[in-house]
Chain A
C-alpha cells in the first residue's frame, strides 16, 4: 500500500507535464500530413460559418447605414390611382421640409438608336427634388437636371448598353419623342432585380400627359416623397396620414419600414446560407471525428509501447489531445482567414440581388466566434476517438489483435451527450431561435436516420439475397458491403447527404422554372398586348392578322373595387377588429372580365359557372382568394364599377393555373352585365420568329403607342438567366457542404483502406491479379455510390416535393434526367475517391505489408 500512495502522489497534470508536450511535438513533426483530413474538415466548416456570419454582419450594418439612401426620403406614400382630394389636402397640411412626386407605369419604348428596338419598360416620371437622400448617379453628371427641364429622358444603364444609346439618340414613349439626356447608374428605389425585368426610363412628370399613355385602364403607380427635419415631424405626419391612407387602401413606407423589409427579404437568404453553413460544419465535425479515429487507430501500437514503458493512460491521451487542440486552433485560424476571403466574393455573387453598396469590414465577432467554434469542434469531436487511447492495453505490443473489453467511462458518456447537444445548440445560437435550432436538429436527425436505416436494410438485403452465382470479383466486392469492419453505414450517410442536398436544389430549381415554361408549349400564347382601348380593338386585331399572327384571345378588362361584402361596407370591415379580411384584399383595384365559359387554365372547383338568373348577377372567384375575402358560394359582393354599384353573388370557385396562358382573373362576370362599362382589351398571340416579332412590335408602337406588349419569351429568358444566377450562388454556397462531404468521404474511405490493406495483400499473395483487386475496389465503391446516391436522391424527391408544394406553392416537376446525371456523377466520384485512396494499397508490395504485420 505504501507504494500505491507514493504512486498516486507522482501524477502530473497536462500543463505541468513537459514530457507530454515534448512527445506531442515529436510525434506530430513527421505526422502532420496524416492529419490533413482533420485540418481540412475544420478549415472548411469554420470558413463556411465565418464567411456567412461576417457577410451577414456586414449586410445588416449596410442596411442600417443605407436604408435612408435607398428610400431617398423620410416617408413615401404609394397609390395605384391619383391621390384623392382628401389626401392631397392632408399632404399640404403637414409640416414637411420638402415634397416630390412620381408617377410610374409600364409602357413600350421605341429606341431610335444605332441598335434600334422596342421593348417594355417602366416610365418613371418625376417632379421635385427627389431623391432627398442617397443621391443619383448619372452619366453625364448633369443628365438629371437636363431631364427635369426639357423633353429629355434618362435610361437605366443596362438599357443604354442594350440599345447602344448615345446623347444624339431619341426614344419614343407613347405619342412623344424624347431626346436622351444620359444614363442612370444609381438612383434610390432603382437597380436590383426589378430593373432586370422592366428597366426604367426617367422623364419629367410635366411631360407624362403629353405622351397620352395615361388612359382608362392604365396601371399607374403614384408616389409622394416627403422630407422632414426631425423624426418627430415624420411621426406626426404619419399619424395624420395613416387613417386616410388606410381608408383608400394605399400604403406608405418609412426608413424603419425599409430596414425591416430589407432585413425580412434577406432573412430567407440568410436562413438558407445558415442551413448550408450548418451542414458544412456538421460534416466538418464528422470529418474531425473520422480523421481522429483513423489517426488513433494508426497510433495504437505507439500508445501500447508508451504504456509498456510506463506512460499513464491520461499521459498517452494528452499527447494526442495537445496535437488535435493545436491543429484545431491552426485549422480555425486558417478557416477564419478563408471565410473572410470568401465573404469578399459573396457581394460580387450577390450584386444582382442586393440593392446596397456593401461596405465590407472584418467582423471581429465572427472571427472570434469562428476561432472558438473551431477549437470547440476540434476538441469535442476528437475527444471520443481519443478517449480510446486511454484504454489501449499495453498487451497490444505482444498481441496486435488484442481487443480490450469496451470500457464505459464518465468522460465518454459526457462527451456523447455534448456531441448530441452540439448541433442543436449551434443551430439555436446561429439562428437566435430555439425552435429553428430544434428544427435543424430534427431535419439532420431525420436525414441521418433515414440514410443509416437504408444502409442497414441494404446490408441485410444483400446478405439475404446474396447472388452466389456471380463471379468472384463481383461477389467479393458485394460481400464487402456487409462483412465485419464494413464502412457501409458511414459512407451511405455521407455520400447520401451530399446527393440529397444537390438533388433537392435541382428539383426546386426545375419546379420553379417549369412554372414559366408553360409559355414554351405548343400553341400557348407567348405575346400579350394590353391597354388596348375599345376604339383601337379592331385596328390591333387587323394589324395582328396582317402580320399573319393568330389572335388567341381578345379579353375585355374592367377595373373596379369592392364596396361591400355580405352587406358590410369596406370601412365597416376595416373598423371591425374581429374581421380577419386583410386590408389589401378589400381596398385593391380588381381587374375583372366577362365570359360564359371556362378558360384553358381554369377548372371549376365548386358551384356553378358565372351566369345571370332572375336579374341577379352570379360571378365566380378564384380558389385561394375566396379564403382571403372570406366569401363562399351564395355570398354577396357589391362592386363599384366606375361609380356604378353592381351587386353580385358568388356562384362558384375556380381553380386557376396562374402562369398558364395569361391573362387570368380573380373575378369573372357573366356576359350581359359589363359590356357597356368602360373597358380595355388584352390580346394574346403567338409569335415564332424574332424578325416577325420585331416588325410587329415596331408597327404596333407606331400605330398604337399606348398599347404595351409583353414578350413572354423575353421574360422567360430573363427568368432563366435569373435562375442561372441564383443557382450559381446557391451552388457556390452548397460547395462548402459538398467539399466537406468529399473530405469526410475521403476520410471514410481511408478508414476502410486500412481494413482492406491486409486482405488485399493476402489475396495478392495467393495469386489474385492487380486487375482483380482493382475490379473489386471499383465495384465496392461503385455499389456504395450507387446505393448512397439512390437513397439521397430518393429522399430529395420527397423533400423537393415538400418544398415545392408547401413552401413555394408550385407544381412539383422534377427533371429526372438531371437527377440521373447527379446519380451517375456521385457513383463516379465515389469510385474516384475510393481509387485515389486505395491505389497505394494495391501498388504496395505484399511482402512489405506481411513483414509489418508479423
Chain B
C-alpha cells in the first residue's frame, strides 16, 4: 500500500516577544492508506498542532507534509481547503457543528460544497447508521453532546474521505457515550476503509488503532504497533 500521509522533518515554532517557542521539533513519519494511527502525549506536547499541520489547517515553520500525494506547503489556504473538501474528514472534541443548520444539513454540507446533487439520501442513510434517523431536522442546540458528535461522525464520512482526522473525539463525552461513539467511529471507518489519524491522551482509545505515535516536548519519542494490532 502507498503512503497517504508523509511527514518529513516537520517543525513548528511560535514567536512570543523576543523568544521563540518550538512546539514541534523535526518530526518525521508516514501513514499508509487505510491504516489507523493514534498520536498520543501529555497536554502541551504538540499533538493537536501536529494534527493541524497534517490536515493542512496550519503551515509548518520547516519540513514538509504530503497529503494524498500533494505537498501542502506548496498550496495556498484556499487550495488546501479544496484538498480538505475532496479528501479529508474531521471530527473535533467540541463537535463543531454549524449551529444554524439542521442535523441533516450539517451532514450534507461537504457534498453541497462540492457542488454534488442528490446527496440527501446519503446523508439520511449516514444519520440512520449513527442512530439519529429520527433527529434529522433538529438543530445542534436541540441535541445532546453524544448526539452532536454522532452527527459530526456522519458529516466526516459523507464525502467518503481518504483520510479522517479526529481530535479527542470522546474528550467531551461521558464514559458510556464515549464508548458508543468510539464503536460507531471504528465500525464505519472499517467499513469505508478510511485512513484514520486520531489525537488523544486516552490510551484506551488509542489502543483501538493499529499504530501509536507518542509525542513528548514536541518530539516523536515512540512509534509502535498498538496492543490490538499486535
Q: Which positions 391-437 of chain A face chain B at CB distance < 8 Å?
A: 393-395, 397-399
Tell yes or no: A739 within 8 A of B by CB.
no
Q: Which of A305-344 touch B at CB < 8 Å?
A: 305-315
| Interface pair A854/B79, CB less than 8 Å apart | no
Pick from A25-33, A209-217, A684-692 the stretch touching chain B. Answer: A25-33
Knowing A10-B82, A312-B78, say if A19 contacts B98 (CB, 8 Å). Answer: no
* Residue B92 interfacial (CB < 8 Å): yes
Q: Mark A7-27, 1 if CB is under 8 A from B, else 0.
A: 110111000001100110011
User: How long is the Cα–Cα vector from A22 to B70 in the complex, in angstroms?
Assistant: 31
Known: A7-B82, A393-B58, A398-B48. A302 touches B100 (CB 8 A): yes
Nearest chain-A residue to B78 (Cβ)? A312
B113 near A19 (CB under 8 angstroms)? yes
Q: What are the residues of chain A within 8 A of B139 when measuring CB–CB?
A: 30
Q: Are B100 and A27 in contact (CB under 8 A)?
A: yes
Q: Least Cβ distance of A365 to chain B in Å?
A: 39
Interface status of B84 (Cβ within 8 A of chain A): yes
A557 to chain B, nearest CB (A): 82
A806 at the interface (CB under 8 A from B): no
Chain A interfacial residues counted at CB < 8 A: 39
Q: Across the interface, which residues of B come within 8 angstroms of A364, CB to CB?
A: none
B92 engages A30 (CB within 8 Å):
no
- Write out the residue numbers on chain A whose beta carbons fall within 8 Å of the beta carbon of B57: 308, 393-395, 397-398
**Are B100 and A29 in contact, CB atoms less than 8 angstroms apart?**
yes
For residue B192, CB closer than 8 A to chain A, the reply is: no
Query: Do A310 and B81 touch across chains, with their CB atoms under 8 A apart?
Result: yes
Residues on B with C-beta less than 8 A from A470 are none
Shortest CB distance A249–B (Å): 77
* Contact status of A398 and B51, CB under 8 A, knowing A302-B100, A310-B85: yes
C-alpha gap A393/B55 in the complex (Å)? 13
CB neighbours of B82 from chain A (8 A): 7, 10, 310, 312
For B85, the chain A residues whose CB sits under 8 A away are 309-311
Given A19-B113, A398-B92: A31 and B78 within 8 A (CB)?
no
Point out the residues of chain A lying under 8 angstroms from B109, CB to CB: 23, 306, 309
Give chain B residues whose Cβ lies under 8 Å from the Cβ of A807: none
- Cβ contact of B79, chosen from A4, A23, A306, cutoff 8 A: A4
- Interface assignment of B96: CB less than 8 Å from any CB of chain A: yes
- Chain A: CB-nearest residue to B139: A30
Contact present for A854 and B93 (CB under 8 Å): yes
Q: Mark A682-722, 1 if CB is under 8 A from B, else 0.
A: 00000000000000000000000000000000000000000
Given contacts A309-B110, A854-B172, contact A7 B100 (CB under 8 A): no
Interface assignment of A301: CB less than 8 Å from any CB of chain B: yes
Among A22, A313, A854, the residue within 8 A (CB) of B112 is A22
What 0/1 readout, one digit per residue, does chain B (70-107) give for beta carbons within 8 Å of chain A?
Answer: 10001101110111111010101110111111000100
Q: Is A3 an interface residue (CB 8 A)?
A: yes
- Cα(A702)–Cα(B113), bound, Å: 96
| Known interface pairs A30-B139, A393-B57; A305-B98 also in contact (CB < 8 Å) | yes
Tell me the residues in window 13-28 of chain B with beta carbons closer than 8 Å to chain A beta carbons. Answer: none
Docked pose: A848 CA to B98 CA in angstroms: 18
Q: B167: CB under 8 A from chain A?
A: yes
> In the complex the two chains form, what is the Cα distance from A30 to B69 in whole Å?
41
Of the listed residues A19, A22, A398, the one surrounded by the most CB atoms of chain B closer than 10 A to its CB is A398
* B121 at interface by CB-CB < 8 Å: no
Q: Are A31 and B167 in contact (CB under 8 A)?
A: no
Asked if residues A398 and B167 are in contact (CB atoms below 8 Å), the reply is yes
> Contact check: which of B69, B79, B99, B155 meets A309 at CB < 8 Å?
B155
A309 & B100 in contact (Cβ 8 Å cutoff): no
B79 to chain A minimum Cβ distance, whole angstroms, is 5
Partner of B105, one of A26, A311, A854: A26
Chain B residues positioned under 8 Å from A312 (CB to CB):
78, 81-82
Complex alpha-carbon distance, A397 and B81, angstroms: 14
Write out the residue numbers on chain B whose beta carbons fall within 8 Å of the beta carbon of A304: 96
Q: Name the residue on B nearest A10 (C-beta).
A: B82
B63 neighbours in A (Cβ, 8 Å): none
Instruction: Mark each residue of chain B from 104 to 124: 1 if its CB lies under 8 Å from any CB of chain A, else 0.
Output: 010001101111000000000
CB pair B78 A309 closer than 8 Å: no
Minimum C-beta distance from B90 to chain A (A): 5
A854 near B98 (CB under 8 angstroms)?
A: no
Query: A302: which of B58, B92, B99 is its contact (CB, 8 Å)?
Result: B99
Known interface pairs A26-B105, A302-B100, A854-B172; A399-B81 also in contact (CB < 8 Å): no
Q: Nearest Cβ in chain A — how far from B82, in angstroms?
A: 5
* B113, A309: Cβ atoms closer than 8 Å: yes
Instruction: Please determine whether B105 and A308 come into contact, CB atoms closer than 8 angstroms.
Output: no
Enumerate A336-394 residues with CB–CB distance to B below 8 Å: 393-394
Specify which chain A residues have a CB less than 8 angstroms from the CB of B113 in the assembled complex: 19, 306, 309-311, 315
Give Cα A27 to B100, complex, Å. Answer: 5
Q: 1/0 per position for B216-230, CB-CB distance to A under 8 A?
A: 000000000000000
From residue A289, how far is it (CB to closest CB) to chain B in Å? Answer: 23
Determine how close the nearest CB of chain B comes to the CB of A494; give it in whole angstroms: 30
Known: A10-B82, A29-B100, A312-B78. A395 touches B58 (CB 8 A): yes
Minimal beta-carbon separation of A399 from chain B (angstroms): 7
A4 to B82, CA, bound (A): 10
Chain B proximity of A844: nearest CB distance (Å)? 14
Is B52 close to A, CB under 8 A? yes
Residues of A within 8 A of B81 (CB): 307, 310-313, 394
- What is the chain B residue whose CB lies nearest that of A396? B57
Q: Are B51 and A310 in contact (CB under 8 A)?
A: no
> From residue B48, how far is it (CB to closest CB) to chain A in Å?
5
Cβ of A398 to closest chain B Cβ, rounded Å: 5
Q: Complex formed: what's the CA distance from A309 to B81 in Å? A: 7
Instruction: Return chain B residues, CB-CB under 8 Å to A399.
Output: 48
Residue of B nearest to A17 (CB): B115
Chain B residues whose C-beta falls within 8 Å of the C-beta of A1 in the assembled complex: 74
Chain A, residue nearest B141 (CB): A30
CB-CB contacts of A741-771 with B at 8 A, as 1s and 0s?
Answer: 0000000000000000000000000000000
Q: Which residues of B contact A26 (CB under 8 A)?
A: 100-101, 105
A11 to B78, CA, bound (A): 10
Indicate with 1 or 0, residue by residue over B142-156, a CB within 8 angstroms of chain A CB atoms: 000000000000010
- Interfacial chain B residues near A27, Cβ < 8 Å: 98, 100-101
| Contacting residues, chain B, for A306 (C-beta < 8 A) | 98, 109, 113
Contact between chains at B93 and A314 (CB < 8 Å): no
List B contacts of A301 (CB < 8 A): 96
Q: Are A7 and B79 in contact (CB under 8 A)?
A: yes
Q: Whole-angstrom distance between the alpha carbons of A12 and B81 in the complex?
A: 14
- In angstroms, Cα B88 to Cα A413, docked, is 34
Q: Tell me if B78 and A308 are in contact (CB < 8 A).
A: no
CB-CB under 8 A from A395, the residues of chain B are 52, 57-58
Please give the distance in Å from A592's CB to the nearest CB on chain B: 82
Complex: how many Å from CA A550 to CA B181? 102
| A31: B residues at CB distance < 8 A | 100
Give CA–CA (A22, B112) in the complex, Å.
Answer: 9
| Chain B residues within an 8 Å CB radius of A28 | 100
B55 / chain A contacts, CB cutoff of 8 Å: 308
Q: How far is the CA of A378 from the CA of B8 in the complex (A)?
A: 48
- Kindly state the separation between the CA atoms of A510 and B115 in the bound complex, as whole angstroms: 67
Query: What is the CA–CA distance of A305 and B91 in the complex, to the nearest angstrom?
Result: 11
Task: With A30-B100, A301-B96, A306-B98 as known contacts, state yes or no: A313 contacts B78, CB within 8 Å.
Answer: yes
In the bound complex, residues from chain A placing their C-beta under 8 Å from that of B92 are 397-398
0 or 1 for each of B42-62: is its CB under 8 Å from A? (1 = yes): 000000100110010110000
Q: In the bound complex, what is the Cα–Cα distance between A311 and B80 (angstroms)?
A: 10
5 A-B residue pairs with Cβ-Cβ distance under 8 Å, sorted by A, are A4-B74, A19-B112, A307-B81, A398-B51, A398-B92
7 A-B pairs with the lowest CB-CB distances in the bound complex, closest first: A310-B85, A312-B78, A394-B57, A395-B57, A27-B100, A305-B96, A310-B84
Given contacts A312-B81, A312-B82, A393-B77, 19 further A-B contacts (CB under 8 A): A7-B79, A11-B78, A22-B112, A26-B105, A27-B101, A30-B100, A301-B96, A304-B96, A308-B90, A310-B85, A310-B86, A310-B113, A310-B114, A394-B57, A397-B57, A397-B90, A398-B48, A398-B52, A854-B94
